[in-house]
Structure 1
Amino acid sequence: MDSRIDLNLLVALEALLAERNVTRAARRLHLSQPALSAQLARLRGMFGDPLLLPTARGMVPTRRALELEEPLRRALEGVRGVVAAGASFDPAAARLTVSIAGSDYSQVALLLPLLRALAVEAPGITLAWRTLDAAALMAQMERGEIDLALMTPETAPERLRIRPLCQERYVAILRRDHPLAAEGLDLDRYCALDHVMVSPQGGGLVGPADAALAAHGRRRRVALSAPGFLVVPEIIAASDMVALVPERIARLQAGRLALFEPPVPVPGFTIAMVWHDRGDAHPALRWLRARLRAQTDAP
């Protein structure tokens, strides 16, 4: 093998092994497909191995390619760390895309305010919001597909870095002109209403409010189970039902809704920032994490 190694070829190989697809890898590297195909041809000559073989569903790495994958990732991360450690970062001049995974709650309550801030402070940073898949998150971060996740700490993979970001609490909501809006919600009125609840996995009819009610010997009737929080204020604003939602979501719709303390205490939840070691020292990602902390007054 030639001792004069082109680092760009190794970066190309890393992307090809991660994506198993020339088109996706080219998009990731901001190259044309013919340009990346030419680099793959050079890599095959460099290693004396086909490296990736075409199939009907993409490309399959050879045994030699699989042997190279992890040492290559570690070596390139080392290079990136050296460069990032000495780099200064000017958010106003930055030009990059940051991929952030989160629930619909996180996207509206946390990422929407961040987007507004970036428009002023770092207009060249593009946010790519992705739906959180906790089971796939570790692999996605290892491949560089996701830079940051916003999630509850207890659901985060243990090998990722975790830093609490904010604490959220639940409030009860009715439409503003609901017959009970002026009277308030005591326990009897609350239990007498039809309820909307959120079941992120879909179809669930029991949540934190049910455990809180059971401790007082009470039950509620769930009339609708929704897969996410964002649709709930819309449903409440157009019906006589009641719901418990995170306060940050409710405040966004305060003009159409009446907000109340739940008649029984319902535990809230913590949202944390979660990231991989590969992005820990990156100046732009460090700045972005600090910006999120400042936005939520996190220590």
Structure 2
Amino acid sequence: MSRNHISLLVCLDALLSERSVTRAAQKLEMSQPGMSNALARLRQLTGDPLLIRTPQGFRLTERAETLTDKVRASLALVDEIFGNEAPLDPQQAAGHVSIAAPDSVGIAVMPALAGALALAAPQVRLDIRLPDAERLRDWLVEGECDIAVGHFPDLASDLRCMNLFTQGLSCIRAHSQGPADPLALQDYLDATHVVFGSPFSARSTMETTIDEALGALGHARQRMVRVASLPPIPYIVARSTHIATLPTWMATHYASFLPLQVQPLPFEVATVRCSMVWHDRTHRLGLQAFVREQLREVTQALMREEPAPAGSLLRSGIGTG
């Protein structure tokens, strides 16, 4: 688009909103002949009169009516591309940021992020929801969410990604299920398992990683209970003969107040890496960048030894990204 076309677009917006050559010229501080010339050029380019004189004054043609929203959206896009965004003032910033995160991340990290934003950017609204790993790119592109946090081993190449931390995995079973001896692989395979997915998928990406590791050994788990979120699992295991595999920090946390044993997995599993993912749609937006930086900072704080909100949860069974 040439500079002349942008100028004509500005004139068209004024003509459509003012419905008068004279008022449009005044609005843009142009001469009336200059605006008349712009209208003539616009009529030629669009093949439509745009403004029609009536006894009550000018009215928009049907074509002009359909152009109004498109013209305003186009000018807003031009402003976004070429405008110089002022530095973000977090205390004054207002807006909405949507984060898709699994329950484990929601419990471990989101309380710290919500607390940090409440102090640093009190007018920013935070929406936290469970992710759909299979439609993650669509969600980020279409605005269903702005940021995704979790274990996403198969990311689209056009998504931006920052590793936050890695999670170790452990097995939990009820105290009533025998001595706290480490499980042998055959014990793990003979047991019945509680697994979790989401409202969108039968298995989470973490459960898929576990199944792939067992599949490489020629084995599979006996899945007896499936839940759509992770927090009920420790309670189910504590009152049954089933076992489950959870992030180590979470297994240790629930074992502190439920009758559970925490034991190492009897096989090797690929690294469960928690990453922050976003799309170019939000990459350059000041508020989005600020929230991403806050998320990175609170995660690093949770991994350090110094006190931090909810830090005791995450420090067990977690590593650097």
The TM tier, using the shorter chain, reads: 0.5 to 0.7
CA-to-partner distance for each residue in 1:39-76, whole Å, 9 max, x for gaps?
A: xxxxx94883554xxxxxxxxxxxx799x59x946x63
Q: Which residue of 2 aligns with 1:222?
A: 223
In structure 2, what is the Cα distance between the partners aligned to 1:277 and 1:192? 47
Shift of residue 89, structure 1, vs aligned partner: 2.5
Letter in structure 2 aligned against 1:221: Q
Output the aligned Cα RMSD: 3.7
2:26 corresponds to: none
The Cα offsets for residues 3-23 of structure 1, whole Å up to 9 and x where unpaired, read as 1637xx9xxxxxxxxxxxxxx
Equivalent residues of 2:13, 2:68 under 8 A apart: no
Structure with greater Cα Rg? 2
1:5 alignment partner AA: D
Normalized against structure 1, the TM-score is what? 0.65
The answer for unaligned runs of 5 or more in structure 1 is: 10-43, 52-63
Residue identity in the other structure for 1:130: R
Comparing 152-161 and 212-221, the one that deviates more: 212-221
> Cα 1:238–1:157, aligned 2, differ >3 Å: closer, same or farther?
same
**Mapped contact 1:174–1:181 kept (Cα < 8 A):** no
TM alignment of 1:242-253, pairs within 5 A: 242-253=243-254
**Percent identity between the two aligned chains:** 26
Matches within 5 A, 1:1-299: 3=11, 5=13, 45=60, 48-49=63-64, 51=66, 72=73, 76-80=76-80, 83=83, 86-134=85-133, 136-175=135-174, 177-180=175-178, 182-200=180-198, 201-202=201-202, 207-213=208-214, 220-255=221-256, 256=258, 257-297=260-300
Query: CA contact under 8 A between 2:194 and 2:243: conserved in structure 1?
Result: yes
Alpha-carbon distance between aligned partners in 2 of 1:118 and 1:218, rounded to the nearest angstrom: 45
Change (3 A) 1:135 1:187: closer
Return closer, same or farther for 1:232/1:190 CA change in 2, 3 Å cut-off: same
Check 1:215–1:110 CA distance in 2 against 1; reply closer, same or farther (3 A cut). same
SS in structure 2 of the partner of residue 241 of structure 1:
coil
| Superimposed CA distance per residue, residues 239-288 of structure 1 (whole angstroms, 9 cap, x where no aligned partner) | 22211112343344232233221111222322322222232122221121
Pairwise CA distance, 1:129? 1.7
Match of 1:57 in 2: none
Give the number of equivalent residue pairs: 245
Distance of aligned partners of 1:154 and 1:210 in 2 relative to their CA distance in 1, 3 Å threshold: closer
Any idea what the Cα deviations from partners look like across 1:118-151, whole Å, max 9, x if unmatched?
2333332221123323455445444444221224
Q: Where do 5+ consecutive residues of structure 2 fail to align?
A: 1-8, 18-58, 301-319
Q: Deviations over 1:134-193 (max 9, x none)?
A: 455445444444221224444433323222222223211123x33435334333443343
Structure 2 SS opposite 1:89: coil
Residues 203-222 of structure 1 show CA distances to partners (whole Å, capped at 9, x for unaligned) of: 79x85445544666665432
Asked if the contact 2:196/2:228 (under 8 Å) is kept, the reply is yes
| AA in 1 matched with 2:178 | L
2:287 aligns to what SS in structure 1? helix
Structure 2 length-normalised TM: 0.61
Aligned to 1:32: none
Contact 1:187/1:263 (8 A) holds in 2: yes
